[in-house]
Every structure is written in C-alpha cells, then in structure tokens.
Amino acid sequence: MPLLLLVAGSAAVAAAGRRVPVPVPLLLVAVGLMVSYVPGVPDYTLDPHIVLPLLLPPLLYTAATDSSYLDLRAQLRPVALLSVGYVLFATFVVGAAAYLIVPGLPLTAALVLGAVVAPPDAVAATAVARRVGLPSRITTILQGESLVNDATAITAFRVALAAAVGEGATWAGGILEFVVAAIGGIGMGLVLMVPLHWLRTHLREALLQNTLSLLIPFVAYAVAEQVHASGVLAVVVVALYLGHRAWEVDFATRLQEEAVWKMVAFVLESAVFALIGLQLPVVLKGLGEYEGAEAAWYAVAVFLVVAAARFVWVYPATFLPRLSARVRAREGEMSWKGPFIIGWAGMRGVVSLAIAFSIPLTVHDGGPFPERNLILFLTFTTVIGTLVVQGVTLPPLIRLLKFPTRDVRTETLAEANAQAQASRAAEQRLDDLLADERNALPGPLADRLRRVLERRRNAVWERLGQVNQVSGETVDDTYRRLSREMIGAERDVFVRLRDGRYIDDEMLRTLLRRLDLEEAAAYRETT
C-alpha cells in the first residue's frame, strides 16, 4: 500500500505541476518534504539494492534512447570532461573541503562524501533546457553528462569506501578498478547490443518486442555488474545503439514503445523526486550529536563547495582546449553564457541519496562507520539545496541571458527539403513497382498512393504560409483540426453501430485502431 500511494501521489503531483511555473522535480520534492511530517505517513527508506539496479537502468535507458548518438559523438570531449573529469575533481575537492570543515572526520570518509555528491542529476536540468529553449549543444552536453557520470561516481565511491572501511585500497588499485569497470561496461554493452537488436528485429509481434524492450536495461545492467563491470555504461551503450537503429523496427513496435517508455519514465521520475523529499525524517532521526547551527553550517559549507567546484572545473575545461586552432575551427566560438548555464545546472538527485544509504554501518574491525549519519545528512541537504537554489533560478537565469532562440523557419525548410527528397524516392519506387504486372492496381488506387505522397510533401511547406486572417490559425493547425473533426465523426458512428449491435466490440476495436493511426499520422505530418 505505501508503494501504491507513493506512485499514485507522485504521479498526481507531477501532472498538476505541468500547469504551474515551478519545475516539476522541485514541486515533487517540496510535496514530499511536507507529506513526510503528516501523521501516519510511513518512513520511506531508500534501499540502494532497489534504487540502483531497479530504478537507475530504466531511467538511463529511456534517456539514452531519446538522445542522439551522432550529437553525443560530436560533443564527446565536453561530455567526457564533465562526466569523468568533473566527477573525479568534485570527489577530491568536496572530500578535502569536508575533511577541513568537519572536525574529526577522517579523510577517507570525507572522500566517500565527495564521491556521493559528485554526480549531477541532469533530469531536471534537461527538462528545463527543453522547456525554455536552450541551444541544442548545451542540452546535448547536459544529457551526455547525466548518462555517464553515475558510472564514474559509483566507481569512485567504491574505491573511497574500500579505503574507509579498511580494505587496504590504494590509489593504483583504485585507478585500475575504475579503468576495468569502465572498459568492462563499455565492452559488455558492445557485446550485448548487436544480439539484442537482432532479437528485436526478428520478433514478429509488437507485444513481444516491447516486452523485450522493458527487459533490456535490467539485463544489460545485471550482466555487466555480475562480471564487476559498470552496469551504467553497459545500459547506455546498448540504449544508444538501439535508439540509433530504431528505424529498423516496425512501426507498430515504435508506436507502442514510445508510449510505454514515456509512461515508465514519467512514473519513475515522479516517484524518485518524491522519495527525495520523503527522506527527511529518516535522515534527521540518525543525525545524533550534530544539531542546530553546527549542522546547518556544515550543510551550507558543503553546498557552496559543491556549487563553486563545478564552475572552477567548467570554465577551464571549456576554454583551455580552445587554445588549439583545430578545436576552435571544429567547435566554433563559445561565449561565457553557455558554460555558466552548464555550471549552474549541476543539480543533484536520487542517485546521490541511494549511494549514501549504501554506506555500511560498520567498518572491518566491527566499529561504526565514521560519521555515517552526518554524511547522509550532508548528502540530503546538498541534494535539496541544489534543487531549490539552482532549480528555481535556472529558468529565469536562462531567460535573462537571452540565448538565441531556435530558428523555426530554417528547421522547417530543412524538414521540407528532406521530405521532398524522400517523396521523390518514394514516387520513383512506386513507378518501378507499378511497371510490373504483378503489382497492377486500378487507376484510383494508384492515384491515391500518389496523393498521399503529395499531401505529406506539401504539409511541411504549408507551415511556412501565412496565418488565416479570420481564425488566426496556421494552415497546418487548421488541417489538423479538420482532420480530427472528420475522424471524430467517423468514431461516433462506429460507436453508435456497436451500441446498436450492428458490429461487435472486436470489429469496433479494429476500426478505432485504424482511425487512431490515421489521426497520429495527421498529427505527425504537421508537427
């Protein structure tokens, strides 16, 4: 029951949040914080054995399949510098600062804290980027960072934790473990991606293909972790490959898969941010001796270090490579605005909390893990601080900096040219096929095929036309509305015939499915 209430409540809040100017992740966290103090609400404890293997893979998978492999490859250097270089830099900087700020905190435990809070969760940042209209390059960099940085942080955490609990970890051993995990995760993804894609394309039913799609991220993660490789990187590699070759899967699978994964991502992301807010009572119960002003000072200090460290890394990582003429020629000029937004978009999320809760209660000799409860508290306050301070200010900051907006006309022209080339190829293919007697069609049917091509080609060009002076609608908006009205009239007739027992429910579903596909086609042709 608590799980059902969590999912239903977070989904309801997320749906309501789409109608208010506050970022949805922040609203979910705020509601979770308030609900955590309502009498009778149970304690929701983040179990890392559930969050990491069960929540992280599908979130990574859906984010990676929606990403562009080609765009990520074009931005490989900044993505790598953020997802690997920055995470390791933040681990050491935050760890050293915590060691100096908190009396009695061992350096190894401080580095554990650094690794825990090092990876930004760019779910909220990329959502804001799309909503406000950031340049695609910045959005791609934030997406790419969020796909890989969890793997870096988890590996750094394991190395720091081994040293903290007394397993005799060394710097050389830590570097070796990191390299093995990274290469192993990428290698496992490369091994799995081809057979999984082959299986997807050879299953004949969309239902089976989408069932496989739901299993893929868990299989890739589990197999990689079983051989002590990075499950995160394995999932990302597989998802990028499958997303890049999604055109090879039949249309029914793509339609179902898009709907299924949108629902999965919506439910999981909503529940994850609500869980962050619900953690407050659990964290405060174990805080112990650290209370009041002292705990608040530590929290503010760690938050400031986390925020400042990102800027300290981002600006040199952006502009130092541009000392090379080759880099400047390849990537173009960069103003200070882009790095500033990337630096400010370093919000932390549920992965940091899940990693923190996986810290053991004791070390090898049986003693308590040093300042475990304080590490949990500082992780929680850092996550909340970044979501509140940076999450609230990011949208107005983006608007204040006045980034160049998308050139809709240029994008529409590019789309129209692409559609024109595709239509010419389709017309040539149709002529070749109709020349064969085995493909003979009555004239009206052949003309219908040509009209479909013509309508699809012209629909994009019509978007460049003028607005209707009477209704204020563009041509494509009018076309879409009239198409839906016609389909709605047909749908009403089918339902009336079913109710009058002229057709049965099975036939109704078949007819409605056909109308749904036509409505989807009409919508996609004009958007």
Give the DSSP per-residue string, 307-373.
Answer: HHHHHHHHHHHHHSGGGSHHHHHHH----SHHHHHHHHT----HHHHHHHHTS-SB-TTSPBPTTHH
- What are 205-209's contacts with CB under 8 Å, separation 24+? 206/250, 206/252, 206/253, 206/255, 206/256, 207/256, 209/249, 209/253, 209/257
**8 Å CB contact between 369 and 109:** yes
Single-letter amino acid code for the residue at 27:
L
What number of other Cβ atoms are within 10 A of residue 335's Cβ? Answer: 9
Burial of residue 170 (number of CB atoms within 10 Å: 0-12, 13-18, 19+) = exposed
> Whats the size of the chain, residue-wise?
527
Euclidean distance between CA atoms 527 and 435, whole angstroms: 34
Confidence (pTM): 0.84
The tokens describing 137, both together, are: 């390059």
* Helices 2-17, 24-35: crossing angle, 10 deg rounding: 140
d(C-alpha 267, C-alpha 14), whole Å: 9
Mind listing the pLDDT tens digit of every residue in the chain (527 residues)? 677 888 888 888 888 877 777 777 778 888 888 888 888 887 777 777 777 888 889 988 988 888 888 888 888 999 999 999 999 999 999 999 999 999 889 999 999 999 999 999 856 656 666 666 677 788 888 888 988 898 899 989 988 888 888 765 666 677 788 888 899 999 999 999 999 999 998 887 888 888 999 999 999 999 999 998 999 999 999 999 999 888 888 877 888 888 899 899 888 888 888 888 888 787 777 666 666 788 889 999 999 999 999 999 999 999 988 888 888 777 777 788 889 999 998 888 888 888 888 888 888 877 888 888 899 899 989 998 998 898 888 888 888 888 776 666 676 677 777 777 887 888 888 888 888 888 888 888 888 888 877 777 776 676 666 566 666 666 667 777 787 888 888 888 988 888 888 888 788 888 888 888 777 776 654 44
CB 272 within 8 A of CB 350: yes
Query: Could you give the count of Cα atoms lying within 13 Å of 219 in the half-sphere of its Cβ?
Result: 14
Distance CA 78, CA 242 (A): 23
